[in-house]
């Protein structure tokens, strides 16, 4: 009886785990907010793995500054998902690479099972795609949805002619991997905007674009106001300081 109960519990556990694996929702993973420390807290057994960068040259000479190249981290909690760190902050996760073992929901809500996904399925599912992209030195062709979602098929180097691309042939090929990339530099800049002073040119508020067009030889003087003096003269707009620029009279 105990043996039957134990087997039943095991089967139930495996079924629950299978359901959990089958319903991975990548929309719940926030790139540039998620850290490697967060992953380790969830799964202390997370391991470092080498991976094939499908959008880069096979010699690894050309690199993508948005993430740490050729190195990723795999967790038993996310089958088929490889996490990659932001190159300028090796604790922040900037990219997810999906292998053939992945089945679940992409960030946009579309369900995929990579073992059975073909290029034609992607072409049907999405519009406004950049199709059959390649750096020319990669072993893969890409199907891009914006600059954040990339699908890859294996390039058949024996197929002649290689160009123009045989769309009919490659549409029938299996998707070998998916990259989901976030530009953490832009994310951090948006999340932490730089505090800008108020710029006044000859009594009128202007932006940095106008200032860049001014030649130094045309400037008569520059006056900087801070704190109370800036607010007293320009109100709330002057709280971050004011730079007054006076041009020479023509």
Least confident of 28-37, 53-62, 99-108, 122-131: 53-62
pLDDT of the residue at 94: 96
For the stretch 126-183, pLDDT in tens is: 988 999 998 778 899 999 988 889 999 999 999 998 889 999 999 999 999 999 999 8
Q: Is the pLDDT higher at 16 or at 72?
A: 72
**Do 177 and 213 fall within a single domain?**
no
Cβ(146)–Cβ(59) under 8 Å? no
**Do 184 and 235 fall within a single domain?**
no
Q: What is the mean pLDDT of residues 58-84?
A: 91
How many Cβ atoms are within 10 Å of 124's Cβ, its own excluded? Answer: 10
Those residues with Cβ within 8 angstroms of residue 222's Cβ, 6 or more apart along the chain or in another chain = 243, 244, 245, 246
Least confident of 30-44, 61-75, 94-108, 185-199: 185-199
Based on the number of CB atoms within 10 Å of its own CB, is 79 exposed (0-12), middle (13-18) or buried (19 or more)?
A: middle
**Do 227 and 124 fall within a single domain?**
no
Is 3 within a domain? no
Q: What is the mean pLDDT of residues 75-89?
A: 95
For the stretch 222-236, pLDDT in tens is: 898 888 888 888 888
**Do 111 and 217 fall within a single domain?**
no
In 3D, which of 169, 144, 116 has the Cα closest to residue 155? 169
**Do 102 and 42 fall within a single domain?**
yes
Is 20 within a domain? yes
Is 168 within a domain? yes
Q: Is the pLDDT higher at 162 or at 44?
A: 44
**Do 162 and 208 fall within a single domain?**
no
In this structure, what DSSP letter does residue 248 have? P
Residue 116: domain span: 8-190
Cβ(97)–Cβ(179) under 8 Å? yes
- For residue 137, what is the domain's CATH number? 2.60.460
pLDDT of the residue at 22: 53
**Do 46 and 62 fall within a single domain?**
yes
Q: Is the pLDDT higher at 112 or at 21?
A: 112
pLDDT class of 249 with cuts at 50, 70, 90: confident
Is 2 within a domain? no
pLDDT of the residue at 7: 43
pLDDT class of 189 with cuts at 50, 70, 90: low
Q: What is the mean pLDDT of residues 7-15?
A: 43
Rounded to whole angstroms, how far apart are CA atoms 178 and 172?
17
Rounded to whole angstroms, how far apart are CA atoms 95 and 65?
11
**Do 56 and 167 fall within a single domain?**
yes
Is 1 within a domain? no
CA 114, 116, 120 angle in degrees (round to 5)? 95
**Do 226 and 158 fall within a single domain?**
no
**Do 177 and 225 fall within a single domain?**
no
Is 147 within a domain? yes
pLDDT of the residue at 209: 64
Domain tally, the chain? 2
- Positive or negative: CA dihedral 114, 120, 126, 128: positive
pLDDT of the residue at 19: 40
Is 32 within a domain? yes
């Amino acid at each position: 009886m105990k043996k039957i109960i134990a087997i039943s519990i095991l089967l139930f556990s495996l079924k629950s785990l299978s359901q959990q694996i089958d319903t991975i929702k990548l929309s719940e993973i926030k790139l540039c907010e998620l850290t490697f420390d967060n992953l380790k807290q969830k799964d202390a057994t997370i391991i470092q793995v080498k991976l094939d960068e499908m959008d880069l040259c096979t010699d690894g000479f050309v690199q993508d500054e948005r993430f740490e190249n050729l190195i990723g981290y795999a967790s038993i909690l996310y089958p088929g998902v490889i996490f990659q760190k932001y190159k300028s902050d090796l604790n922040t996760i900037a990219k997810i690479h999906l292998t053939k073992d992945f089945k679940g929901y992409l960030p946009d809500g579309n369900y995929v099972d990579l073992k059975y996904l073909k290029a034609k399925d992607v072409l049907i599912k999405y519009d406004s795609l950049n199709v059959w992209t390649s750096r020319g030195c990669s072993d893969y062709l890409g199907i891009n949805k914006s600059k954040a979602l990339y699908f890859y098929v294996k390039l058949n180097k024996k197929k002649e002619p290689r160009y123009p691309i045989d769309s009919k042939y490659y549409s029938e090929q299996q998707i070998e991997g998916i990259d989901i990339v976030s530009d953490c530099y832009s994310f951090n800049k948006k999340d932490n905007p730089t505090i800008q002073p108020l710029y006044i040119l000859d009594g009128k508020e202007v932006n940095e674009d106008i200032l860049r067009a001014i030649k130094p030889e045309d400037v008569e003087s520059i006056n900087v106001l801070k704190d109370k003096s800036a607010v007293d003269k320009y109100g709330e707009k002057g709280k971050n300081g004011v730079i007054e620029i006076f041009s020479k009279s023509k």
